[in-house]
Amino acid sequence: MSLFPGLSAAARAATLLSEEGHEASKLFGLPFWVWQLLNLGLFLAVLLYFVARPLGQAFRKRQDEIERRRLEAEKQRAAVEGLARDIRERTAKIEKDIEEIRRQGVADGEEARRALAARADEEVARIRKDSSEEIERRVAAAREELRQAAADLTGSTAAEILTREITPTDRERLLADGVARLKDAR
């Protein structure tokens, strides 16, 4: 079936004439194969006009759409790579900050430990000094108490010995000596 019924009719007529003889292979003075070529050319022209041109336009439109999407995807990929680069940089900076904080924490901890050790050493020295002073005070108080006890004991022992050994005549004589010394001392 042809797109142009007139040509198809001419082709049928040419076929009928070809059955009658050699003269039938011509239509309107042109050989039948020329008409077939004209029919094919006309068919291809119509095909190009109604099918190939819209298909070409559709393909161009599709190609333009694909190119637009490719460019958009490249922009998005560049944006994503930029974001990834920013994230890597930020992550590296954060890791660097964390390491710096960790080092500072260790240094601060070490400094605090040294300060606490120094304060503890000072406190130990102060306690030792206070303890030594307290021990010396208590030893001095104990010596004084011992001296006092020894003096009291010596005095009471001497009083006992004197009470036992001194007679009334010795008392009179000691009293007279004491009065005489007082007179001489004036």
pLDDT exceeds cutoff 50 at 20: no
Which amino acid appears at position 44 of this protein?
L
**Mean pLDDT to the nearest integer, 136-148:** 90
pLDDT exceeds cutoff 70 at 8: no
For residue 1, what pLDDT is reported? 46
Convert the pLDDT of each residue in 149-170 to its tens digit: 888 888 888 888 877 888 888 8
- Nearest Cα to 7, choosing from 54, 45, 40? 40
User: What is the rounded average pLDDT for all residues in the chain?
Assistant: 85
Convert the pLDDT of each residue in 53-104 to its tens digit: 888 888 899 999 999 999 999 999 999 999 999 999 999 999 999 999 999 9
For residue 165, what pLDDT is reported? 80
pLDDT exceeds cutoff 80 at 29: yes
Position of tokens 């190609």? Answer: 63
